[in-house]
Amino acid sequence: MPQLTQLGLVYQSQWFWLLLVLGAIYFFVGRGIVPKVEATVDLRDAQIAADLAAAERLREEADATEEGWRAKINAAHAEAHELAHAAKDRSLRETEKKVAAADKKLAAEAEKAAAALDDARKDALAEIEAMATQATREIVAKLTGAAVDDAAARAAVGGALERA
C-alpha cells in the first residue's frame, strides 16, 4: 500500500508544521495579545480601586455633611422649642395680668352691686317700715279708736322688725 509508505514523510512534515503554527500562535497570542489584555485588566482594576476609594471618601464627606445638618436641625429644633416655651410663658403672664385686671373690675362691680343691693334693701326696709307704721296707726285707730302718734308707731314697728 502506497499510502503507508508515505506515512513517515508526511508524518514528519505534519509535526514540523504543527510546531511552527503552535510557536507562531504562542508568540502572537502570548507575546502580543496577552500583555495588552493584562494591561487592560490592570487598568480596569486600578480604575475600580480608585472609584471605590473616591466613593468611600465621598461617603465619609456625605456622612460628615449629614452630621452637620443634623446638628443644625437639632439646634433649630431646640431654639424653636425654647422660643415656643418663652412665648407660652409670656402668654401665660399676659393672661394672668388680664385675669387679675378682670377680677379687680368684677370685684369692684360686685362691690358696687352689693352696695346698691344694700341701699335697695335699706330703702325697701324703710318703705316697709313706713308702710307698717302707717298700717299700725290705721289698725290701732280702727280697733281702739285711739290715735297713735308717729314716733310710738315707729318704735313698735322697729321692735317687731328687729325680732323678725
Whether 156 and 135 have beta carbons less than 8 Å apart is answered as: no
Query: Between 12 and 36, where is the model more confident?
Result: 36
pLDDT value of residue 3:
66
Our measurement of the distance from residue 34's CA atom to the centroid of its chain's CA atoms, rounded to an integer in Å, reads 67
Q: Would you state the cell numbers that stand for residue 115, as one nine-digit string?
A: 352696695
Average per-residue pLDDT for the chain: 89
Whether 133 and 153 have beta carbons less than 8 Å apart is answered as: yes
* Best mean pLDDT range from 2-6, 14-18, 158-162: 14-18
Q: Which of 59-63, 90-94, 143-147 is predicted least confidently?
A: 143-147
pLDDT at residue 4 is higher than 80: no
One-letter amino acid of 61: E
pLDDT at residue 87 is higher than 80: yes
3-state secondary structure the chain: CHHHHCHHHHHHHHHHHHHHHHHHHHHHHHHHHHHHHHHHHHHHHHHHHHHHHHHHHHHHHHHHHHHHHHHHHHHHHHHHHHHHHHHHHHHHHHHHHHHHHHHHHHHHHHHHHHHHHHHHHHHHHHHHHHHHHHHHHHHHHHHHCCCCCHHHHHHHHHHHHHHC
pLDDT at residue 7 is higher than 80: no
Total length of the chain? 164
pLDDT value of residue 81:
96
pLDDT of 105-153, one tens digit each? 999 999 999 999 999 988 988 888 888 888 888 888 888 888 878 888 8
